[in-house]
Chain A
């Protein structure tokens, strides 16, 4: 059996268990309501969940723009200039280790409990890994490529657009993957803490009245959001960075040639 088949099987088994175990009474429905009751609960309150999803998606979208846009821009500057790198990078790296959620209560004092405080928190939360990855991506560009471009008469701006940016794309994307996931975490967590709208808020509210099916309906929505985001990033990675699949393919080409599959050329 291939790994993909096994993976699919595991998911199917988990889903089946989710339905069977609570129904059989093995797990109390307060802890884990069955999948069907969760879906029905979500369906019955579709309007409420739809509205909450809209609020959350809006906050996520705006935070993404700040986190990723700002992270890439600042990462590019910090990565390409040695002086700011020395000054800023150690600070950003250690800041990355701080649980930033401690700042969220402060943000609610400054910005209120509406969308602004969520956007501010999630933006900062997702900004750090994006910036770190971009800076690393720019820093690790093969200097030979830049030298080659210069030997062909490339100006500074041509080197930036035609060499530095495409060369940095794979690392930037891996930063976006982490940063984007943290944006989603940031928005949902802040909604759960102090808020009046959004999926996190719904989950938290239904939990206080011990309505497990509705709690899990919200959890499912967050799960779907994260999976969709991951799929989107994967799609972009495939589009933008086919060349990343390094030396193994080169070896394959060499094998093909020695096997006489293609016209020989060393």
Chain B
């Protein structure tokens, strides 16, 4: 019998399709609608940012795309195939806290997902080296996380997400814990990595500036119940530069997002 995974998906690699997704939490005293009828199409290679106030379900939606959480209703497909559980070959995930294993070196952290699948040591090392080089950490592989700065830790985390070369990279407020300067630098670095690899990136953030600066498309969400209230195309040219931040086009987009958020908060 043909295993399911060998059936060629109808959608190209890296496409994300969210159809009428809902999430309901049953609590003791009340029922919370975390997401209501969310639908979304993300084309391969796009950089999509989810913004919205706390409790709008943007992180929940991201966790569903990662196969880490099950929706109450609706379907989510990655590259045309549903994702009932995590699949690092299709989706890499980067969390807010770098969540590196402190007892492993940077290199071993990047190798971790490969080690789980029993990839031979030498292959693992080579792939980890490539990934670390891609994120600009060549030569830092032997360090433990506590010997790395916050930005470097997130670089390792991105390398770990990319090491199996998945078409999709999901990022849950990855730079939220970093200081402003590091955050700007990391944003540029992420855009460079994205341009070099052509991944589909879905990026969750609280920062409107970060959203507009990074994105091809910004999805604005509102809470109670969590749903999509706007879907903006950011047509600013690439590469994005620091000067654009003070430009009119940038301001118009940021204001539009802010108006939605102010209304719902």
Q: Per-residue 0/1 for A138-169: is the Cβ within 8 Å of any B Cβ (1 yes, 0 no)?
A: 00001011011111111000100011001101
Q: Is A153 in contact with B87, judged by CB distance below 8 angstroms?
A: yes
Q: Is A250 in contact with B146, judged by CB distance below 8 angstroms?
A: yes
Binding site for B on A (CB under 8 A): 142, 144-145, 147-154, 158, 162-163, 166-167, 169, 241-247, 249-250, 252-254, 257, 263, 265-266
Would you mind naming 29 contact pairs between A and B with Cβ atoms under 8 Å apart? A144-B97, A145-B101, A147-B68, A147-B95, A148-B99, A149-B112, A151-B68, A151-B88, A151-B91, A152-B88, A152-B116, A153-B87, A153-B117, A162-B115, A166-B103, A167-B101, A169-B103, A243-B146, A245-B146, A250-B149, A253-B152, A254-B149, A263-B139, A265-B140, A265-B152, A265-B155, A266-B151, A266-B185, A266-B189
Beyond contacts A153-B88, A249-B147: 13 other A-B pairs, Cβ-Cβ < 8 A, are: A142-B97, A147-B99, A150-B86, A151-B66, A152-B88, A153-B116, A153-B117, A163-B101, A167-B101, A243-B145, A253-B152, A254-B150, A266-B186
Name, among A147, A149, A158, A265, the residue most crowded by chain B CB atoms within 10 Å (CB to CB): A265
Q: How far is the CA of A166 from the CA of B116 in the complex (A)?
A: 15
Give the residue name and chain of the A residue nearest to B96 (CB). Answer: A144
Q: How far is the CB of A153 from chain B (nearest CB, A)?
A: 5
Q: Is A266 in contact with B182, judged by CB distance below 8 angstroms?
A: yes
Query: In the complex where A147-B68, A158-B116, A265-B136 touch, is A253 in contact with B143 (Cβ < 8 A)?
Result: yes
List the B side residues contacting A246 at CB < 8 Å: 146
Q: How far is the CB of B218 from chain A (nearest CB, A)?
A: 24
Q: Per-residue 0/1 for B131-154: is the Cβ within 8 Å of any A Cβ (1 yes, 0 no)?
A: 000001101100111111111100
Q: Is A152 in contact with B86, judged by CB distance below 8 angstroms?
A: yes
List the A side residues contacting B186 at CB < 8 Å: 266
| B contacts with A, residue count (CB < 8 A) | 40
Q: Is A250 in contact with B147, judged by CB distance below 8 angstroms?
A: yes
Give the residue name and chain of the B residue nearest to A258 (CB). Answer: B149
- Please classify the interface of chain A as helix (H, G, I), strand (E, B), loop, or mixed, using the class held by over half of its residues: helix
Answer yes or no: B93 CB below 8 A from chain A CBs.
yes
List the A side residues contacting B251 at CB < 8 Å: none
Q: How far is the CB of B65 from chain A (nearest CB, A)?
A: 11
List the B side residues contacting A166 at CB < 8 Å: 101, 103
Query: In the complex where A147-B68, A253-B143, A263-B139 touch, is A152 in contact with B113 (Cβ < 8 A)?
Result: yes
List the B side residues contacting A243 at CB < 8 Å: 102-103, 144-146
Q: How far is the CB of B140 from chain A (nearest CB, A)?
A: 7
Q: Which of B103, B116, B150 contacts A154 (CB 8 A)?
A: B116
Q: Is B146 in contact with A151, judged by CB distance below 8 angstroms?
A: no
Q: Is B137 in contact with A265, judged by CB distance below 8 angstroms?
A: yes
Q: Is A253 in contact with B189, judged by CB distance below 8 angstroms?
A: no
Q: Is B86 in contact with A241, judged by CB distance below 8 angstroms?
A: no
List the B side residues contacting A151 at CB < 8 Å: 66-68, 86, 88, 91, 93, 95
List the B side residues contacting A245 at CB < 8 Å: 146
Q: How far is the CA of A144 from the CA of B95 in the complex (A)?
A: 8
Q: How far is the CB of A254 from chain B (nearest CB, A)?
A: 4
List the A side residues contacting B148 at CB < 8 Å: 250, 253
List the A side residues contacting B185 at CB < 8 Å: 266
Q: How far is the CB of B98 from chain A (nearest CB, A)?
A: 9
Q: Is B95 in contact with A153, judged by CB distance below 8 angstroms?
A: no
Q: How far is the CA of A212 from the CA of B101 in the complex (A)?
A: 54
Q: How far is the CA of A247 from the CA of B137 in the complex (A)?
A: 20
Q: How far is the CB of B83 from chain A (nearest CB, A)?
A: 11
Q: Is A266 in contact with B149, judged by CB distance below 8 angstroms?
A: yes
Give the residue name and chain of the B residue nearest to A151 (CB). Answer: B93
Q: How far is the CB of A246 from chain B (nearest CB, A)?
A: 6
Q: How far is the CB of B22 from chain A (nearest CB, A)?
A: 22
List the B side residues contacting A147 at CB < 8 Å: 68, 95, 99
Top 9 nearest A-B pairs by Cβ distance?
Answer: A266-B151, A152-B113, A148-B99, A254-B149, A151-B93, A243-B102, A144-B99, A243-B103, A249-B146
Q: How far is the CA of A71 from the CA of B139 in the complex (A)?
A: 42
Give the residue name and chain of the B residue nearest to A144 (CB). Answer: B99
Q: How far is the CA of A158 from the CA of B112 in the complex (A)?
A: 11
Q: Is A148 in contact with B116, judged by CB distance below 8 angstroms?
A: no
Give the residue name and chain of the A residue nearest to B113 (CB). Answer: A152
Q: Is B93 in contact with A148, judged by CB distance below 8 angstroms?
A: yes
Q: How far is the CB of A35 from chain B (nearest CB, A)?
A: 44
List the B side residues contacting A247 at CB < 8 Å: 146
Q: How far is the CB of B132 from chain A (nearest CB, A)?
A: 10
Q: How far is the CB of A33 from chain B (nearest CB, A)?
A: 49
Q: How far is the CA of A130 from the CA of B116 in the complex (A)?
A: 30
Q: How far is the CA of A106 from the CA of B99 in the complex (A)?
A: 50
